[in-house]
Structure 1
Amino acid sequence: MLIFKNALVVDGSGQSAFAGDVALDGERIVAVGVVPVQPDDTVVDLQGKVIAPGFIDSHTHDDGYLLAHRDMTPKVSQGITSVVTGNCGISLAPLVHPNVPQPLDLLGPPELFRFERFGDWLQALKAQPAAVNVIALVGHTTLRVGVMADHQREATHAERAQMRALLTEALDEGAFGISTGTFYPPARHASTQELLDVCQPLKGRGAVYATHLRDEADDIVPAMQEALTVGREADCRVVFSHHKLAGERNHGRSAETLAMIQQASATQPVCVDCHPYPATSTMLRLDRVRLASRTMITWSTACPEAKGRDFSDLQRQWGLDDEETLARLSPAGAIYFLMDQGDVDRIFQFPLTMVGSDGLPFDPHPHPRQWGTFTRVLRRMVRECGLLSLEEAIHRMTGLACEQYGLDRRGRLEPGWFADLVVFDPQRVSDRATFEQPMQVSQGVEQVWVNGRQVWNGHQATGALPGQVLRRREPKLQ
């Protein structure tokens, strides 16, 4: 056995930490508590450092990155051992397309879009695993792009039937559910009825409906009501993706939206994911530029030199109005400073909030959340501000996410459960990624283990690639 001795054990349940040991044998935890040492055991003395379940990134766009950068350094360096992919309506599969529309291009270069079936992509991950486990969603926008030549209209009954068939196939092959992104152009014209029709295969599967809402600004309440309606009709869990209130006039409204979610949770399964930054990032859009107090360009095909520059600075330099500046930069990506930190903090204190980075790993100048989300929570929200206890923060990153996504034997330190583990120094753990220098590994994360194999040694990825494609827990027959 491998025994971690003298640890501060935070087991993922939300219960109080305790001093103890954790023992592994192969890919499983075999003992937690006081573990006697046998002559052939390997012992690691943690000297009071925290040992916890590996973190689950509840909102990623790592679909293509898992194949292109299998060591997953941005994630394992901050303690992440599992990622939820296919969010915001965009998944890498099922789609073969030489020139995908925005925002699908956020998932990586065109050559990655080569999987006709969702299961083909999952098989590729199984054949060449990454360092982390994968919890896969299929994107409604991806289905739309695959079956519709014209996205600027509602889908016909025949097209909805095609999308239902593709969703059924993806669920059978291992998808945990579907995500939507009606905020984005390729899905903007999808009606509520289209969503209801396409999502019918979710019924009875214990599946997830994760949604980037149609609107996260002035009309957030009707957008949330639409999502809750889909969840009820499809008999599935609703995940409000990267829950936020965009634009200064909406700052403070998280009290209203969280009350809605709390009320809904009494009658249907619902939860939230969120990252700890007051800025978001996606494709360059004029409506977001006009809402934001600041917009930083993350990439531009037409003007690559604009990377890292502010939209307003470029506009002044070029002597253009905002529409002309957008046209000169597009296609492009951007970071938008349009949220209030008070809303972010309130959302994080909500008991149904999971932690999700929402990073865009292929951006040349990415949002720092791709590299620093989880360690920023531990530094700012736990150690510096006391918004969450250490135990509660770890629960949001581990046990809560497993409960919401229906994962068996992960997210807790329990005998017989999978050995996804992180070891960190609670006094030193910190994000180092900034908006100016976003691609920096965190500090204080000393060891990360996935399925009983070490993938991070405190300085670099080890090269081990033990990640698995996970399956959702099937609902019990009544």
Structure 2
Amino acid sequence: MSDFDVVLRGGTVIDGTGAPRFDADVGIEGRRIAAIGDLSNARGRSEIDVRGRIVAPGFIDAHTHDDRYLMQSPLMPAKLSQGVTTVITGNCGISLAPWCAAPGEAVPPPLDLLGDATAAFRYAAFGDYLDALEQAAPAVNAACLVGHTTLRVALMDRLDRAATDPEIAAMQALLRDAMLAGACGMSTGAAYPAAMAASTDEMARVATALHGFGAVHASHIRDEGDSIREAIDEAVAIGEAGDASVVVSHHKLIGPKNHGRSVETLAHLAQVMRHRCVGLDCYPYQAGSTVLRKDRLAVSSRVILTRSQPHPEYAGQDLDAIAAAMGLSPEDAVDVLQPAGAIYFLMDEADVRRILAFPQTMIGSDGLPHDPVPHPRLWGTFPRVLGHYSRDVGLFPLETAVHKMTGLTAGHFGLQQRGVLSEGNFADVTVFDAARIVDNATFEHPVAQATGVECVFVNGELAWRDGAGTGVRAGAVIRHASGRESQCNRSRMIS
């Protein structure tokens, strides 16, 4: 008779709380962690020797655009290969639902980050999308935000103006239905043209539909440059209107003029956190990636094309070289390449490190899985934090790095019984070699699997082993419970 389905023998546990590591066996029974400690007298139907390895909670990607990727590529190799077992979708105001596009209708940027075919946008109700996601049976868990920009696209005839009172009321109704179906909150993205005309009042009034759900408001803030402090305050105000915790998405300072200002923004965030439930996420790179925009050229030292619908042959090349080949200025080349996406080198390494090291910073990849030549963060974010920044640079201890991608994120997004290795919690577990873990994805070769993640369990099922997926798809759609207690409590604020 076996005591457990699986026993991980002899590993070093980093439990996701930030506490010091300790040596222990881990027993898994069904979907749960059944025991942590000395299990030398117990037996498992399957036993894995993990001596010399770190046993950690499965990593939680705080910021993704995996809404469609979960169904298109349900084995999720880009995430499992990094040790990621849960993704947060629907960020930057962009979600696959609720919008049922008419056949042949143009997909406006930035919704085209999720795909440029209207056939993908076929869910008039958010609950229909969550049902379809469950039927797709992805290999990782997903918690899903509702995009405010998607609400605008679904309900407004024009996006270059603020919403009217009836349109706001309709957005509130769609958002409330989505929350009742299991969404975990709302995201906004006023930095993008499709939502730039939305006033703070519009977004705050829509957010009132979050009341009573203990929800999250994640914000791609309106300005990550000169007016960044005001943009942070706007995001906080929108969250406050919905009694929701706030996540400042992919926090960064763009352009040489603003380099070094993370000292100021982090001090401001720390002050806000004394009174409000606010967190932030970031990715460990000096370059960002989004739709191709002229207004990013002047603040970027280099621009790489990631996709172009009319000119796919240029994906992966520098914009300057593309423009020269076309005999155009870079600005004019942007027009010819549309619709398109790009990588922008516009941040300072000192800011990246300072933001990464900030105690309340979670890790989010912000990867764009539908770009033919994506930013390397899609395949490399989590090993890069563990290997490069924690081990090699020494920016923070490994326990801190793991906490930033597990327990901290689970707490902020209200992911109950996940993010911490504890008896009774779901058995999302990642085993990795701390001495070998490294990201192999580069800007020249961005689709490259990381080294050092040895096995990954999702809900107790072995999903990744020795550099390959097992084919098991045990992920769950994590539906946010309506009426739950708000995550905005004093215990999570900085004291």
Give TM-score, length-normalised by structure 2: 0.95
Asked if the contact 1:279/1:335 (under 8 Å) is kept, the reply is yes
Instruction: Report whether the alignment pairs 1:360 with 2:364.
Output: no
Q: Distance in 1 between matches of 2:313 and 2:69?
A: 24
Asked if the contact 1:23/1:30 (under 8 Å) is kept, the reply is yes
2:58 to 51, 54, 58: 54
Q: Please say which of residues 178-187 and 222-231 is displaced more in the overlay.
A: 222-231
Instruction: Report whether the alignment pairs 1:343 with 2:351.
Output: yes
Compute the displacement of 1:445 (Å). Answer: 0.4
Compute the displacement of 1:11 (Å). Answer: 0.5
What is the total number of aligned residue pairs between the two structures? 478
Instruction: Report whether the alignment pairs 1:107 with 2:111.
Output: no
What is the identity, as a one-letter code, of the residue corresponding to 1:62?
D
Asked if the contact 1:58/1:83 (under 8 Å) is kept, the reply is yes
Q: Distance in 1 between matches of 2:204 and 2:42?
A: 58
- Structure 1's 69 and 352: CA in aligned 2 closer, same or farther, altered over 3 A? same
What is the identity, as a one-letter code, of the residue corresponding to 2:134?
K
Q: Distance in 2 between matches of 1:154 and 1:30?
A: 52
Residues 17-57 of structure 1: CA deviation (Å, up to 9, x unaligned): 01111110011001111113335643211122110000000
Which stretches of structure 1, 4 residues or longer, exceed 4 Å deviation after superposition?
none
Instruction: Report whether the alignment pairs 1:320 with 2:328.
Output: yes
Instruction: Report whether the alignment pairs 1:274 with 2:278.
Output: no
- Structure 1's 401 and 39: CA in aligned 2 closer, same or farther, altered over 3 A? closer
Asked if the contact 1:371/1:441 (under 8 Å) is kept, the reply is yes
Asked if the contact 1:153/1:189 (under 8 Å) is kept, the reply is yes
Residues 199-230 of structure 1: CA deviation (Å, up to 9, x unaligned): 11112321101000111111111111111111
Asked if the contact 2:179/2:480 (under 8 Å) is kept, the reply is no
Q: Distance in 2 between matches of 1:309 and 1:270?
A: 38
- Aligned equivalent of 1:475: 484
- Aligned equivalent of 1:187: 195
1:230 to 226, 229, 238: 238
Compute the displacement of 1:137 (Å). Answer: 0.1
Compute the displacement of 1:317 (Å). Answer: 2.7
Compute the displacement of 1:289 (Å). Answer: 1.4
SS in 1 for 2:422: coil
1:75 to 76, 79, 92: 79
Residues 53-99 of structure 1: CA deviation (Å, up to 9, x unaligned): 00000000000000100000000000000000000000001111142
Asked if the contact 1:405/1:472 (under 8 Å) is kept, the reply is no
Instruction: Report whether the alignment pairs 1:23 with 2:31.
Output: no
Asked if the contact 2:296/2:344 (under 8 Å) is kept, the reply is yes
Residues 337-382 of structure 1: CA deviation (Å, up to 9, x unaligned): 0001110100011111000000000100000000000000011111
What is the identity, as a one-letter code, of the residue corresponding to 2:38?
V
Q: Distance in 1 between matches of 2:9 and 2:233?
A: 49
1:32 to 33, 36, 44: 36
Compute the displacement of 1:388 (Å). Answer: 1.2
2:210 to 190, 202, 210: 202
What is the identity, as a one-letter code, of the residue corresponding to 2:112?
D
Q: Distance in 1 between matches of 2:63 and 2:80?
A: 15
1:299-310 correspondence runs (5 A)? 299-310=307-318
- Aligned equivalent of 2:377: 369
Q: Distance in 1 between matches of 2:323 and 2:46?
A: 61
Q: Distance in 1 between matches of 2:170 and 2:43?
A: 61
- Aligned equivalent of 1:454: 462
- Structure 1's 266 and 321: CA in aligned 2 closer, same or farther, altered over 3 A? same
Q: Distance in 2 between matches of 1:150 and 1:476?
A: 37
1:326-475 correspondence runs (5 A)? 326-472=334-480, 474-475=483-484
Compute the displacement of 1:316 (Å). Answer: 2.5
Asked if the contact 2:58/2:429 (under 8 Å) is kept, the reply is yes
What is the identity, as a one-letter code, of the residue corresponding to 2:106?
N
- Aligned equivalent of 2:493: none
- Aligned equivalent of 1:4: 8
Q: CA RMSD in A?
A: 1.3
SS in 1 for 2:25: strand
Q: Distance in 1 between matches of 2:175 and 2:243?
A: 15
Residues 213-258 of structure 1: CA deviation (Å, up to 9, x unaligned): 1111111111111111112222211100000000011000011111
Q: Distance in 2 between matches of 1:237 and 1:127?
A: 30
Asked if the contact 2:214/2:485 (under 8 Å) is kept, the reply is no
SS in 2 for 1:137: strand
- Aligned equivalent of 1:84: 88
Compute the displacement of 1:326 (Å). Answer: 1.1
SS in 2 for 1:13: coil
Compute the displacement of 1:318 (Å). Answer: 2.6
Q: Distance in 1 between matches of 2:133 and 2:301?
A: 40
Asked if the contact 1:4/1:22 (under 8 Å) is kept, the reply is yes
Instruction: Report whether the alignment pairs 1:167 with 2:171.
Output: no
SS in 2 for 1:43: strand
Asked if the contact 1:77/1:458 (under 8 Å) is kept, the reply is no
Q: Distance in 1 between matches of 2:159 and 2:234?
A: 20
Q: Distance in 1 between matches of 2:463 and 2:158?
A: 44
Q: Distance in 2 between matches of 1:424 and 1:123?
A: 33
Asked if the contact 1:408/1:472 (under 8 Å) is kept, the reply is no
Asked if the contact 1:407/1:471 (under 8 Å) is kept, the reply is no
What is the identity, as a one-letter code, of the residue corresponding to 1:275?
Y
Asked if the contact 1:212/1:242 (under 8 Å) is kept, the reply is yes
SS in 2 for 1:263: helix
1:217 to 201, 211, 225: 225
Give TM-score, length-normalised by structure 1: 0.98
- Where in structure 1 are there 5+ consecutive unaligned residues? none
Residues 299-344 of structure 1: CA deviation (Å, up to 9, x unaligned): 1112111111111122223332233111111111000000011101
SS in 2 for 1:291: coil
Compute the displacement of 1:471 (Å). Answer: 2.8
Instruction: Report whether the alignment pairs 1:118 with 2:153.
Output: no
Asked if the contact 2:81/2:464 (under 8 Å) is kept, the reply is yes
Compute the displacement of 1:476 (Å). Answer: 3.7
Asked if the contact 1:19/1:48 (under 8 Å) is kept, the reply is no
